[in-house]
Amino acid sequence: MATGKTICYVDCFSGKGQFEDGNPGSPIIALQTRDKCLQKTKMRIDRSKAIETTFIDLNYAADLRTNLAQYSNYYGEPNIVDGKYEEKIVDLLKNKKGQNVFLYIDPYGIKALDTALFDKFQDMGFHSFEMLINFNSFGFFRDACRVMAVDYKNDSALQDLDDLVEYDPTSVVTLDKPVDMLSNIAGGDYWKAIVQDYKAKRIDGYKAEQRLSTEYKQRLKMRYSYVLDMPIRLKAGSRPKYRMIHVCDHEDGCFLMAQNIQNRKDELYTNIQTGGQMSLFDIMPGVSQSVEGEWISREEVKQKVQDFIETAGEDVGITRFIATFVNDNGLICNFDLLYEILKELEQERKIVIIRNPAVSEKTKRPSTFMTEDKNKTVTIRRLKA
């Protein structure tokens, strides 16, 4: 809202809006957040039009209307669309030019994902654009093995995926031109070489999924500046089973999404899917833990920070610094550790941290803050050897 532009939020696969036990799903969470945000704002705006909310679902639109009825209020009326996201979304967005658009794309599967459609969004003239995409990477690779007649049945990495409810349960293998469909989803045919290496036993299922996800993110980065990968686990202590991928073109969007995940890292795991609706996040990247669940030492994190500073130029704002760091390395640690390492590097005279204002108005002492807002900036300056 700070931009003065309308926010257009679209939950593209909304489910019923809440769990069978009555707990809120992502549509209700989004609407509750909308109401709280608009209630607190001091901006002079039309609160009924500041945040537009649209909820699409093919299977549960009637339940969705019932469950969201109470949120037609002073802050706006939710727009509920009965149908397929991929058939509705372009028409829904064609009059949103100049607005801030956020899409939550969570189809529980892969067949509704089309990279060409993601490319089209980039050209629709929005003021800002973000997507949070559920990419069922293991499911994709399992279907890729099926299409190329590669046996995977003894690979633990590709088992126990049936808990992931499919938006459309039809197998890719049974469709016309399944190879073309997989390439449309992936945005290229790079997946074929990964399957061939898997068939030749040069990589296992986990390495194949990591490589697939890396290639998929690189494809998205051809059109978007920041692509943040967040692995999702079905059970505490288990390996990730699919990925949420956040896409945007501005460092603030990437930074805020990463910060949100960091703030939620101590929440309990939940059962992912219940009654046509899933929780928004189930991600537990801990301090000094890589996005793949493997432990990374503090020294390794520090070395990555130093390497990054060497390539980042002399001056970089801390918001852009962190956004670009997690964009390149993933959520390998929490922000507090990054701030701590930056302060160490300053003590070692490898960088200088420039804060504006440099002196606290309250205490009259040198400022120590490490985050930015409209009244504060933090710049990391690399010192030449």
Beta bridge mates, 103? 10, 131
- pLDDT-derived band at 338, boundaries 50, 70, 90: very high
Residue 2 lies in a domain: no
Position of tokens 């058939």?
Answer: 87
- What mean pLDDT comes out for the span 239-243? 76
pTM of the full predicted structure? 0.86
Q: Looking at the structure, do residues 234 and 321 belong to the same domain, yes or no?
A: no
pLDDT at 276: 36
Q: Looking at the structure, do residues 35 and 119 belong to the same domain, yes or no?
A: yes
The CATH code of the domain that includes 55 is 3.40.50
- What mean pLDDT comes out for the span 285-291? 40
Q: Looking at the structure, do residues 362 and 308 belong to the same domain, yes or no?
A: yes
Q: Looking at the structure, do residues 264 and 327 belong to the same domain, yes or no?
A: no
Range of the domain at 303: 298-382
- pLDDT at residue 281 above 90? no
Q: Looking at the structure, do residues 303 and 260 belong to the same domain, yes or no?
A: no
- What mean pLDDT comes out for the span 238-266? 84
Residue 203 lies in a domain: yes
pLDDT at 264: 66
Pure H helices in the chain? 26-40, 61-68, 85-93, 115-122, 137-147, 178-186, 190-199, 205-220, 251-263, 298-311, 318-329, 335-347
Look at the chain and report how many structural domains it folds into: 2
196 vs 110, residue with greater confidence: 196
Residue 245, Cβ density class (10 Å: 0-12 exposed, 13-18 middle, ≥19 buried):
buried
- pLDDT-derived band at 110, boundaries 50, 70, 90: confident
pLDDT at 191: 97
- Separation between Cα atoms, residue 67 and residue 65, nearest integer Å: 6
- pLDDT-derived band at 278, boundaries 50, 70, 90: very low
Residue 157 lies in a domain: yes
115 vs 235, residue with greater confidence: 115
Residue 284 lies in a domain: no
Least confident of 76-80, 203-207, 272-276, 362-366: 272-276
For the segment 299-317, what is each residue's pLDDT rounded down to a tens digit?
999 999 999 998 887 799 9
Q: How far is CA 327 from CA 101, 217, 320, in A?
A: 21, 10, 10
Residue that finishes a domain, picked among 222, 248, 278: 278
Which secondary structure element, helix H or strand E, spans residue 314, and what is its range? Answer: none
For the segment 16-45, what is each residue's pLDDT rounded down to a tens digit?
998 888 889 999 999 999 999 998 887 777
